[in-house]
Structure 1
Amino acid sequence: MRYAVPAAALAAVLAVTASVGQGNDHVTDPRAAALVAQGRANLAAGELEKAVDAFEAALTIDPAATPIFLNLAEAARLNGLQGKAIRYYRLALEREPDNLAALSGEGAALVEKGAVEKARRNLAKLQSICGDRCAETAELAAAIAKGPQQRVLTAEAVMPDAVVTQQN
């Protein structure tokens, strides 16, 4: 009788942990999957804003789908918004810390932003997970080898300051 209460508590803990392990198998809502497919098609066509709209709509339908964050990050990178892309990659990594695509994508966005040392940390993590044989490791290593992108200067950025002189 004195073991009944601890046994019941242990059974409850095991039941909860067993159900948590089953919870990682997320099934994407079909409506969200259709919007993601539409967004991917928009990305391929170069229609970045329409792609972002489709991905965001998919995220409202299925906020638990990690791949949608990866698609939003890719669209942000193509738009030149590396900071926003890094934020989306980190949201994906909060859900799945060993997501190879998120680690590689975040690393590439960090390189594009100029944070090469942080990108090397992502590369080291990728190498510890899958070694040098996976595509994500090779992609990030190539991005690091290429280095940060050169910033494009606009005419306004290189204009000298106006100096007003008084004529006598």
Structure 2
Amino acid sequence: MRYTPIAAAISLFVAVSASSSFGQAPHTVNPQAAELIASGRTALAAGDLDAATDRFEAALAVDPASTQAYLELAEVSRAKGMQGQAIKYYREAQERDPGNLAAISGEGAAMAEKGAVKQAEGNLAKLQSMCGTNCAEAAELASVIARGPLPKVQSAEASAAVAEPAARN
């Protein structure tokens, strides 16, 4: 009996503090991170993929919750031909913003480029259910799926092994 008021107070505190995270305002972008993202986009447009990566990673260091920085890192990874890494970044963006159409479309495009067409078609179906067939993200993903996977990159060692038997003949 003596502990009932204390137990009630503790349970009330736990209930209120546990539910407070559901009503939080959406993430506001840090101005310094936004500046770094803009600078990274400029570097990406100029073809300087390493500088773009540096800027986007710096933006994440300043603002770890930046969905846009993850999306930009994914784009740089795709430009470098690193679709697996791009998929990882797109999934990070989706964890922060599950309804982000660009992240769903980009992940599907990276999957299609990697050869995982069935999974990419799953992303396309998800996009179409969210925004219809007329949204730009769904149209872009459909075109990447239609193009098919990127050609496989062969290492120098594998190329030499293939060329060596031909040279013996």
**TM-score past 0.5 threshold:** yes
Per-residue Cα deviation, 1:1-58 (whole angstroms, up to 9, x for no partner): xxxx98x9679746753552323x1111111111001000000100000000000001
Misfit runs of 4+, over 4 Å: 8-16, 152-156, 161-164
Deviation at 1:119, TM superposition (A): 0.2
Is residue 57 from structure 1 mapped to residue 58 from structure 2 by the alignment?
yes
Moved more, 143-152 or 94-103: 143-152
Q: Give the secondary-structure state (helix, strand or coil) at the position aligned to 2:151.
A: coil
Structure 2 CA distance, aligned partners of 1:11 and 1:53? 43
Structure 2 CA distance, aligned partners of 1:119 and 1:53? 29
Moved more, 48-57 or 95-104: 95-104
Aligned residue in 1 for 2:164: 160
Per-residue Cα deviation, 1:113-132 (whole angstroms, up to 9, x for no partner): 11101100100110111110
Aligned residue in 1 for 2:4: none
- The structure-2 alpha-carbon separation of the partners of 1:159 and 1:131, relative to structure 1 and needing over 3 Å to count, comes to same
Q: Give the secondary-structure state (helix, strand or coil) at the position aligned to 1:160.
A: helix
Aligned residue in 1 for 2:115: 114
Runs (5+) with no aligned partner, structure 1: none
Q: Give the secondary-structure state (helix, strand or coil) at the position aligned to 1:27.
A: coil
Structure 2 CA distance, aligned partners of 1:112 and 1:80? 9
Alignment of 1:18-167 (within 5 A): 19-23=21-25, 25-152=26-153, 157=159, 158-161=162-165
Structure 2 CA distance, aligned partners of 1:81 and 1:152? 11
Deviation at 1:100, TM superposition (A): 0.4
For residue 159 of structure 1, what is the amino acid of its counterpart? A
Percent identity (aligned)? 54
Moved more, 89-98 or 36-45: 89-98
TM-score computed with the length of structure 2 as normaliser: 0.83
Deviation at 1:95, TM superposition (A): 1.6
- The structure-2 alpha-carbon separation of the partners of 1:135 and 1:14, relative to structure 1 and needing over 3 Å to count, comes to farther
Runs (5+) with no aligned partner, structure 2: 1-6
- The structure-2 alpha-carbon separation of the partners of 1:14 and 1:129, relative to structure 1 and needing over 3 Å to count, comes to farther
Q: Give the secondary-structure state (helix, strand or coil) at the position aligned to 2:134.
A: coil
More helix by share: 2
Moved more, 13-22 or 32-41: 13-22
- The structure-2 alpha-carbon separation of the partners of 1:161 and 1:132, relative to structure 1 and needing over 3 Å to count, comes to same
TM-score computed with the length of structure 1 as normaliser: 0.83
